[in-house]
Amino acid sequence: MIEVGDSLVSLIRRALQIPSERGTALRLLLVVDVTQRMSHFSELMQLASVGHADVDLCRKVIQSIPGYWVESNLKAEILPILEGGGSEEYRRLAELLTELNSQLLNDLVEMALSSDDEDINEVGHDFRRF
């Protein structure tokens, strides 16, 4: 429910956390000012690191942010996700980094290949060719 005084940022932030409202929030982010998209970058990266119905739309929003800005902010967002994540987070972020043509993909692959977790290691092998 929208309350008087809610800002667009807080409305979108809340909607991104509710699966039934997430798609609408992501589509809204595609048409608002790019600074709005940037302000939700952390949430977008969290959403891009797991599988769900709107993951492709989430990637599209991330790709609509200027590449230089995304590239300069990616590492700070990705490392904490990978440190606490498993093979799903590694795989989803590797997919995103492939789409972004990010140099960080090589770092992710190296981290995955050095993991003791067999499933994470498999992600490294799968994306080593990119």
Q: Dihedrals φ, ψ of 51, to 5°?
A: -80, 135
Tokens 């039934």: give the residue. Answer: 20
C-beta of residue 47 within 8 angstroms of C-beta of residue 34: no
Q: Could you give the CA distance from residue 129 to residue 76 in angstroms, rounded to a whole number?
A: 24
- 23's CB contacts (< 8 A; 6+ apart) are 53, 54, 57
pLDDT over 80 (residue 3):
no
Mind listing the pLDDT tens digit for each residue in 45-80? 999 999 999 999 999 999 999 999 999 999 999 999
Can you read off the two tokens belonging to residue 73? 């902010």
- pLDDT band at 8, cuts 50/70/90? confident
Q: HSE (CB half, 13 Å, CA atoms) of 48?
A: 26
